[in-house]
Amino acid sequence: MANNPLLCPVNQPIDYAQVQPDHIVQAIPVLIDDARRATDEAARPDLPCSWDAIIEPLQDKTEALWRAWSVAGHLNAVVNTPELRAAYNQCLPQVTEFATWVGLHEGLYQQYKRLKASSEFSALSPVRQRIIDLALRDFRLGGAELQGEQRERYRTISDQQAQLSQKFSENVLDSIDRWALYITDESRLEGLPADVIHAARQAARDEGKDGWKLTLKMPCYIPVMQYAQDRELRYDMYRGYATIASEFGDPELDNSSLIEQLLALRAEEARLLGYQTFADVRLETRMAESAQQVLDFLRELAQKAKPYAERDLAELKEFAATTLGMDDVQPWDIAYISEQLRENRYAYSEDEVKQYFTEPQVLKGLFNVASRLFDIKFNPVQASTWHPDVRTFAVTDKNDTILGHLYLDLYARQGKQSGAWVSCERDRRRRGDALRTPVVYLTCNFSPAQSGKPAILTHDDVITLFHESGHALHALLSRVDDPGASAFSSVEWDAIELPSQFMENFCWEWSVVQAMSSHIETGKSLPRELYNKLLAARNFQSGMQMVRQLEFALFDMGIHQHDAGLSIKEVLEALDQVRKEVAVLFPPSWHRFPHNFSHLFAGGYSAGYYSYKWAEVLSADAYAAFEESAVIQPDGTRDTLCPKTGRRFLDEILAVGGARPAAESFQAFRGREPSIDALLKHSGMAEA
């Protein structure tokens, strides 16, 4: 136990390379026991009624547990092995039971109520007052006011939901990892980019096979759907991805029953807490005030976007018929036809653009944007990591004071969950004179480097990297000294995407694109002519893209607005109903989108997927402030990297985290409430 890297003090770095599954199994029970004793101690009614007597000592013990569990969860997501998964799953019920126990702890709940009612409360900082108010809300939502059988049932429900969500996630990961299509006829790969063909060839060789191995991981799946001329090949890949973790694959990996169980448990949880639906519970912690307000917001956007989506689809079908000779357009043709139409209309391909975005230069460009806006630096440092691909940076201010550390894990691989996300090992915390800085993970799934050359990214990959950097900066640039008010702890979920979606906008600015592009062969930056084509195509099919996101959000709210669970048949029918309302594309009856919707069933977005669009209104309006303060260059282009506006964004949005309601932070930055106009303008729908 003495050499267990998960038991090192929270202010010391984790030796990730040394973490073994056994370390998780050994450390978590010990840390739970410590945290349990500290909780009981903090609940003693004879303690002085003060922050220092009750909350600080409790935080000392509980943060060690949550740091270790965060590391375990992260490793389980990025270097998954049977042994690591078993260790994680062995500890998951213990961690869930402890978290539920704390939420139901009557003595601790009374201490927070006692603090709130005391004269001490008014002497606390506004941040600490907010933390206590949020804690009281969370106690109530965590079942602290339940008694007897209801309390025990709530405890059971919490444990079951955690295990079902973990199993859902595992089924998706395993379905993707186990699926492969082996091609022996090279002519079937006609149209695919050279780097994708090379990676497929290498993947087959790694298994001692001839030919090419295609997978459902995004660096392979997306290019096949966009470029493969073989329609049957596109169908096979589409069918594989559309039926992930469903009844059409391995029965052991079918998520149907997990979806049913999760919806039933969520509805029961809501009833126990005195709410009509699970959506009502979730919205207690959001900016949005009611489910109806969310639905009205989504439908207003849908009403404005659907005519554009219908126009997009009509153009696509006309092009398919007149230029490609395809009268019978199927869902597995959409990405291919769209790419052909884009190339025809704007005279460029995504593959052509991709050659200019080498990962080292993109990273340099990203760091330069953050440096100019927020006066910070990213310094490479040596650190123990969980995989050779991972790089570590110390983030410092202009005085070289360390603000935090960033771990970048950018490439797809076997045993790594798909998608892109940011999470924290630990938050910023000041204890007396000692300041502990945050440690943040930024994870993506890009195509890895090949043949000694740097990795190359699509422009969509670049946007993804900038998006996730916004989340990372939200945590790294915090000036909040109490973790209970950190960005990821207490910013409302429908505002958490503001910094991430805000950062995406810089990927379209000429000065930024020029600085972060370097052709993989020539080293030249993206030509202005090609940039102009890219910019002209920015809102290509934006109508179809928007209604697709609205479809997901309306489906999410719909299935969580019931006072009981739904059968999988009813879930699929609910999705069909939403599509009839807002969609323009309709997949085949065997499509099983919900079975792979990890945001809803294995992430934190249940009854909250609308947050992406809600926050997009905030982010577009926030970016409009940079457009308004832009400097016009001699060549007529604008420079939106305004340090003065960046400093205000840092001071009013990033640095304050969850120290105040998100609506107040937005108004402090913008001087008014948000407007939907900027989003419509950025989406090419201004005339709507």
CATH code of the domain occupying 5-145: 1.20.1050.40
Query: Per-residue DSSP letters for 599-649?
Result: HHHTSS-TTTTTHHHHHHHHHHHHHHHHHHTPEEPTTS-EE---HHHHHHH
Rounded mean pLDDT, 486-506: 96
Q: What DSSP designation does 654 have?
A: I
> Cα-Cα-Cα-Cα dihedral of 3, 7, 13, 18, to 10°?
40
Reported as a single tens digit per residue, the pLDDT across 297-353 is: 999 999 999 999 999 999 999 999 999 999 999 999 999 999 999 999 999 999 999
Please state the rounded mean pLDDT for residues 345-372: 97
Report pLDDT digits (tens) over 54-97.
999 999 999 999 999 999 999 999 999 999 999 999 999 999 99
pLDDT at 126: 97
Give the tokens for residue 297.
């917001």
Average pLDDT, the chain: 96
- Predicted model pTM: 0.93
Q: Which of 178, 186, 199 is nearest to 228 (CA)?
A: 186
Q: How far is CA 220 from CA 86, 125, 243, 245, 454, in A?
A: 29, 51, 17, 19, 18
Q: Catalytic pick from 468, 492, 504, 616?
A: 468
Q: Give the orientation angle of helix 21-42 with respect to helix 106-117, to 10 degrees.
A: 50
- Identify whether the C-beta of residue 584 lies closer than 8 Å to the C-beta of residue 547: yes
Kind of pairing, strands 439-446 and 402-411?
Answer: parallel
Q: For residues 643 and 526, give the distance between their C-alpha atoms in angstroms, rounded to a whole number.
A: 25
Work out the number of other CB atoms within 10 angstroms of the CB of residue 79.
18
Predicted local distance difference test score (pLDDT) of residue 635: 81
* 363 token code pair: 């990273």
Residue-wise burial string across 29-56, b where 16 or more C-beta atoms lie within 10 A, e elsewhere: ebbbeebbebbeebbeeeeeeebebbbe
Distances (CA, A) of 534 to 38, 216, 342, 397: 57, 27, 10, 34
The residue ranges of DSSP E strands in 255-390, in sequence order, are 376-381
The whole-angstrom separation of Cα 596 and Cα 575 is 14
- What's residue 687's pLDDT? 56
Is residue 468 part of the annotated active site? The answer reads yes
> Going by C-beta distance under 8 Å and a sequence separation of 6 or more, which residues neighbour residue 74?
386, 423, 425, 441
Neighbouring CB atoms inside 10 A of 278's CB total 27
Give residue for tokens 């740091």. 67
Q: What is the pLDDT of residue 1?
A: 67
Mean pLDDT to the nearest integer, 258-286: 98
Quote the CA–CA distance of 645 and 661 in Å, as a whole number. Answer: 21
How large is the average pLDDT for residues 673-687? 84
Give the up-direction half-sphere exposure of residue 21: CA atoms within 13 A in the CB hemisphere: 13
* Res 2: pLDDT: 72
**Per-residue pLDDT at 552:** 98
Q: Mean pLDDT, to the nearest integer, of 129-149? A: 97
Of 308, 339, 120, the residue nearest 227 (C-alpha) = 339
Please state, in angstroms and rounded to a whole number, the distance separating the CA atoms of residues 444 and 466. Answer: 11
Contact at 8 Å (CB) between 35 and 100? no
Average pLDDT over residues 267-294: 97
CA dist list (Å): 387 to 6, 12, 391, 457, 605: 17, 20, 9, 20, 28
Contacts of 20 (CB under 8 A, 6+ apart): none
Helix axes 291-322, 542-559, angle to 10 degrees: 140
Q: What angle do CA 343, 240, 306 make, to 5 degrees?
A: 50
Domain ranges of the chain: 5-145, 179-243
> For the chain, what percent of residues have pLDDT higher than 70?
99
Instruction: Write out pLDDT tens, residues 156-211.
Output: 999 999 999 999 999 999 999 999 999 999 999 999 999 999 999 999 999 999 99
pLDDT at 688: 39
Q: Is the pLDDT of residue 686 over 80?
A: no
Count of residues in the chain: 688
* Mean of pLDDT values over 561-585: 97
Tell me the percentage of the chain whose pLDDT exceeds 90.
Answer: 96
Over residues 398-415, the mean pLDDT reads 97
Q: What is the mean pLDDT of residues 483-510?
A: 96
Q: Classify the C-alpha dihedral 513-518-522-524 as positive or negative.
A: positive
Q: What is the pLDDT of residue 677?
A: 87
Place of tokens 């002209």: 536
